[in-house]
Amino acid sequence: MVSTYSFDKDKFANLLSKAIGDRSINQYALHSGVSATYISKLLRGLVENPPMPPTIQKLAEKSYGITYEELMEAAGHVSEPSKIDLVDALEDKETQLLAAGQPITMAQRLGIARILDNPSAVQFTKIPILGQIKMGVPILAQDNWEGELEIPPDIRADFALEARGDSMIGVGLLDGDYAICREASTASSGDIVVGLREDGGYSEATLKFYFNGKEASVLRAANPSVPDIPMDGDWRIGGVLVGILRKDSPTYRVYNSYLAARDVSEDKWVPVFEKASQLGIKPEQVMNMIETMYQVMKGGN
């Protein structure tokens, strides 16, 4: 392989010196399988032609923090990565820029350039986190605030609620998540809404699907083990979900809860659960019986 680009002997020697680290040349030669004499000449810039890629591979494999790509570039086997000034490219009308295959408009380009030039100009929006919602006052009244939450500026929202329980686990809304909501008194059938019910001076809030049926409207969980809530005169809509923010990574227990919720919804399992309950069989006993039967079946094959 003939080098297409120039061999930068000084740069290669500097990288090689870092690759060797606190080892002697003889130690590095023993580790890499490259002649100590040859390594010494490379360090002193006495080699006119660059090392070939197989030799560079050996040097890189036993180096301290220097990569094969860096040595290949210094040897002149590959070109140095090209560099462009992104702000200049964004402001240059002659340069065509695409995002997901679509041209970026000039207004978008200038907006991106301003953000790159002044990152502090990107401001997050603060919305209130609602706690107990008092009756007789607007939902966004400061008396209902429990704190504030920063959200990206492109999300249009008015408030957040901290989700509790697993009633919406089927759509990925987990216990402890922040439900980002837009204030609304009406919703389309199928929206996830904030349902409010007056209860002892405060409004009980719940996050559920809203379905507007012919005979009656209901609030429905994304968990078949949670019954529907009829939208009678005690309930009203206070908002619509527009996004979810999560504080922590989901645990495996969440996945198990999802599987349980999913399996309960399958009709063929309902009589199994009912029979076990009627006979007083506990869940752990069912699990032990399943494991035993599975081992018996395996042994019979």
Provide CB contacts within 8 A for 11, sequence distance 6+. 74
CA triple 30-32-34, angle to 5 deg: 80
Please name which of 208, 282, 269 lies closest in space to residue 241, comparing C-alpha atoms: 208
- Six token digits for residue 109: 């380009």
Q: Residue 262: in which H helix or E strand, if any?
A: helix 252-264
- The residue from 208, 217, 265, 277 that is catalytic is 208
Radius of gyration, CA atoms only, the chain: 33
How crowded is residue 250: how many other Cβ atoms within 10 Å of its Cβ?
A: 16
Could you give the CA distance from residue 258 to residue 237 in angstroms, rounded to a whole number?
27
Beta bridge partners of 244: 179
Sign of CA dihedral 130, 131, 137, 143: negative
Q: Is residue 62 annotated as a catalytic residue, yes or no?
A: no
Do residues 69 and 78 make contact, with C-beta atoms less than 8 angstroms apart?
yes
Q: At what angle do helices 68-75 and 9-20 cross, to 10 degrees?
A: 160
3-state SS assignment for residue 268: helix
- The residue from 32, 63, 167, 257 that is catalytic is 167
How many secondary structure helices (H) and strands (E) does the chain include? 10, 12
Q: At what angle do helices 36-43 and 9-20 cross, to 10 degrees?
A: 130
DSSP state of 120: G
3-state SS assignment for residue 154: coil
Q: Is residue 167 annotated as a catalytic residue, yes or no?
A: yes
What residues act catalytically? Answer: 167, 208
